Amino acid sequence: MVTGAGSGIGRAVAVELLRAGWSVALAGRRAEPLAETAALVPGAASLAVPTDVSRPEDVEALFTAAVARFGRVDLLFNNAGTFGPGGVPVEELPYDAWRHVVDTNLNGAFLCAQAAYRRMKEQEPRGGRIINNGSISAHTPRPHSVAYTATKHALTGLTKSLSLDGRPYGIAVGQIDIGNAATDMTARMQTGALQANGEVAPEPVMDVADVARTVRHMAELPLEANVQFATVLATTMPYIGRG
């Protein structure tokens, strides 16, 4: 299961898994991008399910459809997310914008993890793996990113709690924190991103395929082993020493 599979990191990970022979349920808000993702690996075992991860009924329908098609859930890549409005100071951020980011990034991740847990506990053989897409912002914020950063910090707590609670059931939970993968969402970084010192400067990016290969490595470990946290970033991006 890959959420946010219609573009960016989600699409890259879905394609990597499909090419490796996984059966993949593709979740995202719109059907057309999901179909485009599936078409990148002709003949592969994919299922596109338009889903708003912030809606419990959509998430339940997604997992029901996936189990009906493939029989079980062995992997959830909890990837769906949004930056929210960029460059907005905290005192000017509308509550609706805050709520949208929280509903998508945090509540959506919880709902998908909860649905995965229910299946993984009951299926035979029992167990599975959840990989949450954190961010460099799970460690260090960018200026004017209060909603995104708060949800990504919270996602780290979600990962730790899920990992602990999953132990009795053979459910392994880890997190990948990604910095400056080249996607549509990060295109502005190459032309200029606001830095902690107030300057605007271009930042290096890395191939999103390198992220996808890392997720695949985490996914294909035996359940007796787990990458708890992995940080994959453009080598020279301003993270170490940011601020």
Average pLDDT over every residue of 160-181: 96
Q: Which fold has domain 2-233?
A: Rossmann fold (3.40.50)
Token pair, residue 5, equals: 């599979």
End-to-end CA distance of the chain: 36
Rounded distance between C-alpha atoms, residue 187 and residue 151, angstroms: 22
Place of tokens 């979740």: 27
**Rounded to an integer, what is the distance from CA 44 to the centroid of its chain?**
22
List, for residues 105-116, the tens digit of each pLDDT value. 999 999 999 999
**Which has more confidence, 179 or 100?**
100
The answer to whether the beta carbons of residues 211 and 12 sit under 8 Å apart is yes
Rounded distance between C-alpha atoms, residue 193 and residue 200, angstroms: 5
Per annotation, catalytic residue among 95, 117, 148, 239: 148
Specify the pLDDT at position 121: 97
What would the DSSP string read from start to end of 22-62? --EEEEES-HHHHHHHHHTSTT--EEEEE--TTSHHHHHHH
Specify the pLDDT at position 197: 74
List, for residues 134-166, the tens digit of each pLDDT value. 988 888 888 788 999 999 999 999 999 999 999
List, for residues 53-101, the tens digit of each pLDDT value. 999 999 999 999 999 999 999 999 999 999 888 778 999 999 999 999 9
Specify the pLDDT at position 195: 76
Specify the pLDDT at position 203: 78
- Prediction pTM value: 0.92
Q: Is the pLDDT of residue 241 over 80?
A: no
117 in active site: no
